Amino acid sequence: MNLLYGVFCRFGHFSQETIKCIMHQMATCEGDERAIWLDDSCGLGQIVNTASDDWQKDPLSFRDDERNLAFVGYGRLDNREELCAALGLDVTQRVNITDSLIIRHAYYKWGGRCAERLFGDWLFVAWHPAENRLFLARDHFGIVALYYYVDKNVFVFATSRQALLALKFIPTELDELYLAQVLTCWPAYHGERTVHLPIRRLPPAHHLDVTSDRIVIQQYWFLEKTPELHLSRREDYITTFRELFDAAVKVRLQPLDYLEGTQGQIASCLSGGLDSSAVTATAAKLLAGEGRRVAAYTSVPMFDTTSFTKDRFGDELPLAEVTAFFSGNIDITTIDAAECTPVQGIKKMLQICNEPIHAAANIFWMLALRKAVQANSSKILLIGACGNAGVSWAGDIFSQSVAFQLRQLGWNKWTKEILKRNMPPSLLAIWRRRRIDMDLLCRTSAINPAFARRLNIFERRFNDPAERFPRTSLDLRSFIQPGRSMFGALQAELGGAFGLQVRDPTADVRLLEFTFSVPDYIFIDPKTGMDRWLIREAMSGRLHDDVRLNRTRGRQAGDLVPRLRASAGEVEAALNELARGLAAEYVDVPYMRQVWQMIQAQDTPEAFDKSVTILTRGIMAGLFVNGFYK
């Protein structure tokens, strides 16, 4: 765990008490090393875990008198050797060259442009006293978090939002639009906004320049602008993909201290899906030569899921066991999350991330899994969460020949899709308005209809250019664009709560750039119609065909309905709490009670869907609101 924080007094008197207040609010472990550097108008702070980080080799000294700047940062770099060569650092002295030291030297040499060359999970802040200027930068797409608040007098930042919320001069103001977007599953709230209106999040691939009279935020990496790569044979894409995928996993297996061995076993989230299976199996392959094993953790249901999952599977374990057996050096620990009910998970997650999130229904097993990893003394947890738009992109059917499109879709569906893709956005918005009843639309979420009308939420969504019907494969993959994503911040906070470094090979910069450079038609096999063709072929011989070629998707938290029934008292208490507080102005508690009655009575896919989209998401949003206004 490594935490950064600081204060820049833009105008007026600098108070040391502010930065000390932030430091005391940062959640830390016993034995953590703390340091604060101060001058007349700026203070920087850092907290490192003395048991696992490089604090002895790279002590917490911030001021560089020769360059007249102060610097604080940390990170895990994917391209250490490349950077050391460019910076003239002796890579053979690996033990003495920490990633944070490399980041610092990169900034010394290239200034703010260094961000484009640093691949991995990192953050840094540089203070230039002669210019009265603070510069902050965040990685391309890594698992880190940085929050800030700015007004005409002060700029404060921290890797913990809770630390900023403790500062009395920051206004307590709810971003109602953000809350409505969470409730209605409108992902426009991602990016720099948070549900606390005055507090911003530094998005991936951005840096921030702050002086006394200006603040400039800029994006330095645009994944969607990656040029297309044309190779002579389809098989050539497989070779390059496999090399990059193996490199992305290998670099994330590095121990925390760069010494021989590792601190605890490498842990991995393993579902029955293609992404986590590919990550886990590749890690196992790379570690097998050292006689090491991967500790895989698989969420499993406590109750039968067949009534709720429709054409999906609700138990990930059978396919996870196939992957483990085929690899030979994967040990599976099953996580049934019996000790964490859905409502308990929601409450715990609100303490960790301080805002409601889209995936409220999955929180109970996400927390239980990380708690189990922590209990087994692993420090590194591999995940494969960014695959859907990247390494395992399914492909856009309209990249194929018209004959293929017609075979797959049929004339009627093909005609409708073509019309929607080519219809002017203004006409499409009119068509959508006439087709959808706004009152019925409110019934698809827990949002209070009066709140929805006050914000005109659905009309605003129809008019959002980002919500237009997708016309290209880039439109379909837009959710992974780094300027919009809050994924890294969420994973950093969730991992930090359990002392884990969460690492995602599917978020590797070079791997993402390659997959975005692959022409879209490559991702579908025109002969068989198989989607996600590239990763399926790349994993040939590494994953069993039962997993590699499986086209049935899993349903996370597939036994959510019976779990809610088993903890009915907690659900009732939560609904009562919402009804008594200001949450009732934002979520429709009477409708949520109707949904709850249906969930208790019906073993149907509809009961499951509404438990996800209405009940649990509404409970999380409502509990947050009540806590916000205490």
Q: Domain with 289 in it: what CATH number?
A: 3.40.50.620
Q: Are residues 467 and 583 in the same domain?
A: no
Mean pLDDT by 10 residues, the chain (630 residues): 87 82 69 75 82 48 82 92 91 75 94 96 95 96 94 94 90 95 85 94 95 94 92 95 97 68 76 96 95 96 95 95 97 97 98 94 97 93 91 92 92 88 72 67 92 90 72 73 83 92 95 95 93 97 97 94 98 98 97 98 97 98 94
Q: Are residues 209 and 241 in the same domain?
A: no
Look at residue 495 and tell me if it is in a domain. Answer: no
Predicted confidence at residue 27, as pLDDT, reads 59
Helix (H, G, I), strand (E, B) or coil at 492: helix
Is the domain of 155 the same as that of 287?
no
Is residue 209 domain-resident? yes
Q: For residue 402, is it within any domain?
A: yes
Instruction: Give the count of domains, the chain.
Output: 4
Give the C-alpha separation, 325 to 343, whole Å: 35
What span, in angstroms and rounded, lies between the C-alpha atoms of 611 and 620?
12
> Is 137 found in the same domain as 9?
yes
What confidence score (pLDDT) does residue 25 get? 79
Q: Is 494 within a domain?
A: no
57 and 122 assigned to the same domain: yes
pTM over the 0.85 mark: yes
Same structural domain for residues 115 and 175?
yes
For every residue of 571-595, which 3-state class applies, written as one string?
HHHHHHHHHHCHHHHCECHHHHHHH
- pLDDT of amino acid 470: 67
Q: What is the number of residues in the chain?
A: 630
Task: Report if residue 492 sits inside a domain.
Answer: no
Three-state SS for 52?
Answer: coil
C-alpha span between 486 and 384 (Å, rounded) = 16
Assess if residue 448 is contained within a domain. Answer: yes
Whether 57 is covered by a domain: the verdict is yes
Q: Cα separations (Å) of 145 from 4, 90, 257, 356, 477?
A: 10, 30, 22, 16, 23
Contact criterion met (CB below 8 Å) for 25 and 163? yes
3-state secondary structure of 13: coil
Residue 182 lies in a domain: yes
Report helix, strand or coil for 268.
strand
Give the domain-ending residue among 221, 248, 281. Answer: 221
Output the six-digit token pair for 444: 């698809």
Neighbours of 215 (CB within 10 A): 14
Q: Order the strands of the 2-9 sheet from edge to edge.
A: 33-38, 42-48, 2-9, 154-158, 147-150, 200-201
One domain, residues 215 and 343: no
Residue 43 and residue 191 in one domain: yes
Helix axes of 274-288 and 317-327: crossing angle, nearest 10 degrees: 20
Final residue belonging to a domain, choices 221, 252, 285: 221
CB 621 within 8 A of CB 446: yes
Residues 513 and 577 in one domain: no
Same domain, 254 and 372: yes
| Closest-CA residue to 80 (of 36, 119, 26) | 119
User: Within this chain, do residues 431 and 571 fall inside the same structural domain, yes or no?
Assistant: no
Is 59 in the same domain as 143?
yes
Q: At what angle do helices 80-87 and 99-110 cross, to 10 degrees?
A: 40
The whole-number pLDDT of residue 50 equals: 52
Structural domain harbouring 377: 234-394+500-548
